[in-house]
Amino acid sequence: MRLDDQLLREAKELAARTGRTLTSLIEDSLRETISRSKVPARRVRVELPVVDGDGLQPGIDIDDSSSLLDFMEDTRDPD
């Protein structure tokens, strides 16, 4: 096997910088390349439940997580 000199030099530098052996770096790189080349498993379609409701409450900004959390805490039933 023959590796490109520049590629080998960069791989050695990366291995040294990350405290790894050249062999482990090459093995991990091969594992990643092989993993990406595999056909992904077919995804199962998931049906999410739909809940009827009155929509958004007036004054609620769904893009503001802090105000949403405050609203949910204020409207939560006490235990």
State how far the Cα of 75 lies from the Cα of 59, in Å rounded to an integer: 14
- Which pLDDT value is given to residue 23? 96
User: Which pLDDT does position 78 carry in this prediction?
Assistant: 63
Residue-wise pLDDT for 9-60, tens only, equals 999 999 999 999 999 999 999 999 999 888 877 889 999 888 887 777 777 8
Amino acid at 29: S
Looking at residue 7, its pLDDT comes to 96
What pLDDT does residue 79 have?
59
Half-sphere exposure (CA, 13 Å, Cβ side) for 56?
A: 7
In the block, residue with structure tokens 């030099």? 9
Per-domain boundaries in the chain? 5-35
Burial of 20 (0-12, 13-18, 19+ CB in 10 A): middle
Whole-model pTM over 0.85: no
pLDDT digits (tens, 9 = 90+) for 57-71: 777 888 888 888 888
Name the residue among 4, 25, 28 with its Cα closest to residue 15.
Answer: 25
Residue 73 has pLDDT above 90, yes or no: no
